[in-house]
Amino acid sequence: MKDINRKIGIGVLWNFAGLFMTRGASTLFTIFLARILAPDIFGLVAMATVVFELSNALVNSGLSQALIRSKSVTKADLSTVFITNLVLSSLVYAALFFGAPFVAEFYSQPELTNLIRVVGLIVFINATKVVQTAILSREMNFKAQMQANTTGVVVSGALALYLAYTGWGVWSLAAQMLSSALVSAIILWLASSWRPALQFSMESLARLFGFGKNLVAEAFLQILFENSYVLVIGRFFSAELTGLYFFAQKITQLISRQLTYAVQQATFPALSTLQDDNSALRTKYSQILQIMMIMIAPVMALLAGLATPLFNILFDDQWHAAVPYVQLFCVVGAIYPLHALNVNLLNVKGRSDLVLKVGLLKKAVSLSLLFLAIPYGVKGILVGQIIGSLLALIPNTYFSKKLVDYSLAAQMLDAAKPILVATVAGGVAFGVSSLLAAQPLLSLLCGGVAGVTMGVVLSIALKIQGISYVVSRFKFLQPIRRFL
């Protein structure tokens, strides 16, 4: 167990280091690009991204997870996955190329035809790094992945800014996506010594696809589901509203999704070694949930509370309509770790079939809410997302209870204190910032300091286990332990 804790700790540390640099840089580039480009430009990219992400899911979701989870892999396994991904990416890109005009017609946006055909090349690039990423993850080498992702973000962000300033418009965002994927792929290949061979095994494909097929289907459906909101808004509303929605989603997911992903990526290989020890898995997942919630929920609450002065400082008036979208997205983001943890648990237990079944049920409910919310506009759609996220906790936790006895009630008990801290801290930040609304910078600083202070004090007073676990891992935080 100590060895598992050490592996998880090191993995999480490298992932957070990578997260801090890549997402910090990505956030800055997104902010600068928003100051140059109009919301409708982001709306076009959002429409193209839907198609690209759906295609990407078909290529690299399930087999990568199957490689990471396998107790041992052979050279035949690795080469088989590599060749399979290249073949799939070729077929998927052909579908993208010839289907692009129909997508453009659906949105009534002729520019999308060429945009989709160019951005779709990312499918090829990502297919080449699936095996390299899986190998590095199995080796718990998250440092190399951090370096690849960080370099990709910085290079692509700088290129996008240059192109945006020189008048390339939507193509600056397309170039950002392509160059980020290409640079990270090159560095991952340099970091790994493995090279593909002309070796293909039907036995390897059948075994790995047996686990991965459900994840491919679930990933495809999940991306279709998540982007169905962009599809609906883009189809029934304007490109400008689509851009505002997409931008708000991008800002909040930089925090909630990526922090959660950093923990998941680091813990999945290590926890897979405990897949037959239900008691140990329940204990570790309880710790991980509390850590994720105390990190993510308060941050999302503070972002919601301080969204107005933040947008007043950073963006011009054309972006201010995105503030309520950001605030509503923050609620969805605070709930997200609970969903991700339960899916991760099912994958560790090798029950990808349940991941698919639960996913189908959740999506059916949420899509029903989406179409019911269309008459109420974008805000109504976001409220429907919040309701759907809350309802989805029921099927999400049902099988966690059956597999490792980690029920919805137990998870909510673990999450209760972090949620309380987040609610109070966010409320204090909002209250203080509202009193100083006439001075945006002072409002942001005072509200932020008040909210963070309240969050730290309340976390210590409630003796939240997640805080204790984090503090115990860092020597410079040891003086705080006497208060916990």
Mark 66-79 as b/e (b = at least 16 C-beta within 10 Å): bbbbbeebeeebbb
The predicted structure's pLDDT at residue 330: 93
The predicted structure's pLDDT at residue 430: 95
Please report where in the chains the tokens 């400008």 appear, as a residue.
240
Give the relative orientation of helices 62-69 and 202-236 as an angle to the nearest 10 degrees. 140
Measured CA angle at 164 (ends 378, 56), to 5 deg: 60
The predicted structure's pLDDT at residue 467: 62
The predicted structure's pLDDT at residue 469: 56
The predicted structure's pLDDT at residue 483: 47
Picking from 257, 116, 129, 142, the residue whose alpha carbon sits closest to that of residue 183 is 129
Torsion angles phi and psi, residue 463, rounded to 5? 50, 55
The predicted structure's pLDDT at residue 234: 85
Picking from 204, 74, 207, the residue whose alpha carbon sits closest to that of residue 138 is 74
Element (H, E) at 89: helix 75-107
Distance CA 305, CA 433 (A): 8
Distance CA 457, CA 446 (A): 16
pTM of the model: 0.71
Residue pair 218/58 in contact by the 8 Å Cβ criterion = no
The predicted structure's pLDDT at residue 476: 44
pLDDT profile of the chain (484 residues), mean per 10: 52 55 64 77 79 66 71 84 86 87 87 88 86 82 78 88 88 88 91 87 80 67 77 85 87 75 64 71 81 87 94 87 93 87 78 79 87 92 91 86 86 89 94 91 94 90 68 50 50
Task: Determine the 3-state secondary structure of 484 from DSSP.
Answer: coil
DSSP string, 139-185: TT-HHHHHHHHHHHHHHHHHHHHHHHHTT-THHHHHHHHHHHHHHHH
The residues spanned by each domain of the chain are: 1-238, 255-484
H helix runs in 349-376, sequence order: 352-373
Residue pair 288/338 in contact by the 8 Å Cβ criterion = no
